[in-house]
């Protein structure tokens, strides 16, 4: 076991305090163009080649390359001094995981800028920035620069340095002028829930069934119309829209704040296998939350014991942003997780600050015995019987096969599941 700990501790990770090597890497990434990278690499190669006895020509080339970089320093200094501009606000577009985000910046040139581009530096290693094309801006004019960031995984990522890139005249070095920092939210891609019969099944489903009947939960204020969904009351049909478009529409009414089901997401993981399933659990919770919001049946949302405020106008956006800010499960935290109890009955129960008034639906990696919870959806990493997508453990617990769910998710980003 000690040998296993040795290999775990040997895995490189981002330091909390950036030292000399990290700052040298930042200089290499920000201050050198591809031409500069090639010249610096050839200089290092010449130094190693010069170690060969009698190969004095390598040292001559290394010295000439070094003198070339020294000559570029005054040019880079003059480029930085003469480039005067004013930068506006930084606009970052939040996207779903795997999509391409954009960073926009409006700049005003006080002096002529012969070549300028926009780039983002010192970000998380999962983000890849494609710098904008170089443009020329005359004095007194303004322009909007757009760079793109390729995302891979969900999370709330800080962009520590958004910079205008001004190359010096020889093209080997460049001046990256910091204009600010920003935050990029990469939202989890939700699993689309097409049907949810488990929610209203069994004895515990009786408390959820009325919430899916708009006639019982609607308010008095009319807010608009939407396409008819199965289960809508016939008295809420909008006859004028039906006659105009040839298909049924239903009237929508404002729902009272706080009225509805309570969704609880528990991201607690007890072992390495469960930690690897957290991301799929978040996608599943996002799909269930959006399904409830579409039916005006979600009253409150919790991540653990912390309640997330759902704004009535953009409840789906608030939900996805909260899910994006959940810290990424680290496989290096196994030492801390070993101290947690492995028994299901000894797990910490859900304890919100205020006792909920509505029915509670919990989504987690394992089932728990909690008197406040009415129904639970559990993401099972073990293969279920006959490779089924879901298995009803009891009237209150539904187990979903994580392996089959992930397989179908990878095949199609628009996967629909029936729970």
What the chain holds in terms of domains, given with CATH numbers, is 23-187 (2.60.40.10), 192-220+257-418 (no CATH)
Q: Which residue has the higher pLDDT, 336 or 122?
A: 122
| pLDDT value for 257 | 43
* Predicted confidence (pLDDT) per residue in 66-115, tens digit: 776 766 677 666 666 667 788 888 899 999 988 899 999 998 888 888 88
* Predicted confidence (pLDDT) per residue in 42-59, tens digit: 777 676 666 666 666 666
CA distance 259 to 256: 6
Q: Which residue has the higher pLDDT, 115 or 289?
A: 289
Task: Please check the confidence at residue 333 and state whether its pLDDT lies above 60.
Answer: no
CA distance 404 to 179: 46
How would residue 340 be classed by pLDDT, with cut points 50, 70 and 90? very low
How would residue 214 be classed by pLDDT, with cut points 50, 70 and 90? low
As a whole-number percent, the residues of the chain with pLDDT over 90 amount to 6
| pLDDT value for 147 | 92
| pLDDT value for 261 | 84
* CA 171 to the chain's CA centroid: 36
What b/e sequence results for 46-55 when a residue is b if at least 16 CB atoms lie within 10 Å of its CB, and e otherwise?
beeebeeeee
Mean pLDDT of the chain: 76
* Predicted confidence (pLDDT) per residue in 148-207, tens digit: 999 988 989 999 999 888 887 777 778 888 888 899 999 998 888 888 888 888 878 888
* Predicted confidence (pLDDT) per residue in 2-36, tens digit: 666 565 565 555 555 666 777 888 888 888 888 77
Which whole number is the average pLDDT over 127-139? 87
Task: Please check the confidence at residue 359 and state whether its pLDDT lies above 70.
Answer: yes
Neighbours of 283 (CB within 10 A): 22
Record the tokens describing residue 55, joined without a space: 């190969």
Burial of residue 132 (CB within 10 Å: 0-12, 13-18, 19+) is buried
């Amino acid at each position: 076991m000690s040998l296993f700990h040795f290999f775990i501790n040997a895995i490189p990770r981002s330091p909390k305090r950036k030292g000399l090597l990290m700052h040298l890497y930042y200089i290499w990434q920000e201050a050198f163009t591809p031409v500069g990278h090639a010249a610096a690499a050839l200089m290092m190669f010449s130094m190693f080649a010069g170690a060969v006895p009698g190969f004095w020509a390598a040292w001559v080339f290394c010295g000439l390359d070094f003198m070339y970089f020294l000559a570029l320093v005054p040019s880079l200094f003059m480029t930085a001094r003469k480039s005067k501009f004013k930068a506006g606000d930084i606009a970052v577009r939040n996207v779903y995981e795997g999509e391409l985000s954009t960073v926009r910046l409006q700049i005003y040139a006080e002096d002529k800028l012969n070549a300028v581009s926009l780039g983002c530096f010192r970000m998380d290693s999962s983000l890849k920035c494609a710098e904008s094309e170089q443009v020329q801006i005359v004095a007194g004019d303004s322009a909007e620069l757009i760079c793109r960031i390729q995302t891979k995984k969900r999370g709330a990522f800080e962009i520590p340095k958004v910079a205008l890139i001004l190359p010096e005249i020889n093209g080997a070095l460049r001046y990256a002028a910091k204009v600010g920092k920003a935050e990029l939210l990469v939202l989890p891609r939700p699993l689309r829930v097409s049907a949810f019969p488990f929610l209203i099944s069994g004895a515990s489903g009786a408390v959820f069934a009325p919430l899916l009947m708009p006639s019982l939960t609607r308010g008095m204020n009319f807010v608009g119309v939407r396409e008819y969904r199965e289960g809508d009351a016939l008295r809420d049909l909008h006859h004028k829209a039906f006659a105009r478009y040839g298909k049924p529409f239903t009237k929508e009414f404002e729902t009272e704040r706080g009225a509805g089901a309570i969704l609880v997401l528990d991201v607690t993981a007890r072992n390495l296998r469960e930690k690897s399933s957290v991301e799929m659990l978040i996608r599943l919770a996002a799909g269930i939350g959006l399904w409830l919001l579409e039916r005006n049946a979600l009253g409150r949302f919790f991540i653990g014991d912390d309640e997330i405020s759902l704004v009535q106008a953009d409840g789906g956006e608030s939900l996805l942003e909260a899910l994006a800010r959940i810290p990424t499960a680290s496989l290096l935290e196994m030492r801390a997780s070993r101290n947690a109890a492995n028994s299901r009955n000894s797990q910490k129960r859900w304890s919100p600050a205020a006792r909920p008034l509505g029915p509670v639906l919990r989504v987690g990696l394992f089932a728990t015995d909690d008197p406040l919870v009415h129904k639970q959806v559990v993401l099972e990493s073990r293969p279920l019987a006959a490779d089924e997508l879901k298995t009803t453990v009891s009237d209150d617990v539904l187990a979903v096969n994580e392996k089959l769910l992930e397989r179908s998710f990878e095949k199609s980003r628009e996967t629909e599941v029936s729970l």
